[in-house]
Amino acid sequence: MFNLMRNEWMKLFSRAATYVMIGAIVLAAIAATVIMLFINSLGSDQNLTWQEQLQADNERLEQMIETGEAGFMGDDPAERIAINEYALENDIAPNSMNISGTFWSYLENSTFLLSLIGLFAIIVASGIVASEFSWGTIKLLMIRPIARWKILLSKFITVGAFGLFLVVITAIISVILGLIFFDPGSPVRLVFEDGQVVEKSMAAYVVRLYIFNSLDVIMLTTMAFMISAVFRNSSLAIGISLFLLFVGGTATGFIAAYYDWAKFSLFANTNLSQYEMNMPIVEGMNMQFSIIMLVIYFAVFMTLAFTVFTKRDIAS
């Protein structure tokens, strides 16, 4: 198995396209820093300290309570006031209030890089099986004394490892650039829980944010891999998966507004942060339901890929 993965890795890294992808990821991570520095520089004429900003925020929120205006995005203004006061008392500068941006808010805003990694993972997943067919190399690959499922599994693991590899590269670059160009900020995140303000770790929050944001690309990469193994056609796999990556979430949102069955669709369940924000896409869904749905989808994709790939004849 280890040797099979070494083979896949060798094939992957013998191709120019792979290096183009890595280069694009590096550039994107750098571009993210530059853009964020640029945006931050636009707002820097507003010379208030974070304490002054929090006080101004509190005054506005108190007005909202008086006039009975609904809080933005379902936030309870009273909770925000409590959090702001806690921050002032304990001298914790919120990351969002730092005018020149902090390391943590930079990481928080860099999640879009995951979509780019997802895009590349989908491209690799789409080609890793189908290309062997289009190159004709599948014949020499499958006449070895190795069960077909092992070959397929080694390819799937390689796709995952490649995705993870890109994530690690991005993370390293982001952390280094973030530490160089932004204030460290406070590693504490204030949350209102059970009637009181509690301190939570910012790092854990960012990690969770990244995991939640990568669920849809993980699922789509698995689907692309399945299509690649079942239909042996990389363009089909790339086409369907990318189409869904870009419009799947939005389309599901529209459908969910009218029909309840949308909750069984893949994209209604990939966004787990909907439960954090307490706004499930369809009323009555919860985290447990979504995780079960994701596991079912994953199992279906895998079963399809493995049964078809191991059963079907290789004839061209």
Residues near other proteins (CB under 8 A) are 3-4, 6-7, 10-11, 14-16, 135-137, 139-140, 142-147, 313-316
Which residues face 15 on adjacent strands?
none
Token couple for 311: 């059963």
- CB of 180 or CB of 315, closer to other proteins: 315
Q: Measured between alpha carbons, how far apart are the two ends of the chain, in Å?
A: 27
CB of 148 to other proteins, least distance (A): 9
CB of 13 to other proteins, least distance (A): 10
CB of 3 to other proteins, least distance (A): 4
CB of 15 to other proteins, least distance (A): 5
- CB of 217 or CB of 229, closer to other proteins: 229
Considering only CA atoms, which of 68, 53, 62, 95 is closest in space to residue 81?
62
- CB of 109 or CB of 134, closer to other proteins: 134
Axis-axis angle for helices 234-258, 202-231 (nearest 10): 120
Which residues face 192 on adjacent strands?
197
Report the C-alpha gap between 68 and 71 in whole angstroms: 9
- CB of 161 or CB of 167, closer to other proteins: 161
CB of 140 to other proteins, least distance (A): 7
Q: Is 79 helix (H, G, I), strand (E, B) or coil?
A: helix
CB of 7 to other proteins, least distance (A): 5
- Give the sign of the dihedral formed by CA 158, CA 163, CA 164, CA 166: positive
Tell me how long the chain is: 316
- 162 burial class (0-12, 13-18, 19+ CB within 10 angstroms)? buried
DSSP H helices in the chain: 2-12, 16-42, 50-67, 77-90, 103-108, 112-135, 138-142, 148-181, 202-231, 234-258, 266-270, 273-276, 287-311
- CB of 109 or CB of 131, closer to other proteins: 131
Report the C-alpha gap between 105 and 161 in whole angstroms: 28
- CB of 14 or CB of 47, closer to other proteins: 14
CB of 6 to other proteins, least distance (A): 6
Which residues face 201 on adjacent strands?
188
- CB of 66 or CB of 313, closer to other proteins: 313
DSSP 221: H
- CB of 140 or CB of 291, closer to other proteins: 140
CB of 21 to other proteins, least distance (A): 15
Report the C-alpha gap between 18 and 8 in whole angstroms: 12
